[in-house]
Amino acid sequence: METPLWIFLIVGGIIMSAFMALKTGKEERRIEFEQIEREGEVYMERLQKERAERAERRSFG
């Protein structure tokens, strides 16, 4: 019995869709990680600035 061509097209579409979903998910995780890294750096810079300001106030006070 011969399998119709449209069955192969559907299976190929499913495989391609799964591949694209994995690829997109990986890219989104990378972008999210980079954003979290940037937010962490901004937070750490703010903490260091506040510590420096406190130390400066103590030395004058």
Q: pLDDT tens across 4-46, in order? A: 999 999 999 999 999 999 999 999 999 999 999 999 999 999 9
Read off the pLDDT band of 48 (50, 70, 90).
Answer: very high
DSSP assignment of the chain, as one string?
-PPPHHHHHHHHHHHHHHHHHHHHHHHHHHHHHHHHHHHHHHHHHHHHHHHHHHHHHHHH-
What gap in Å lies between CA 52 and CA 42, rounded to an integer?
A: 15
- Whether the predicted model's global pTM rises above the 0.85 cut: no
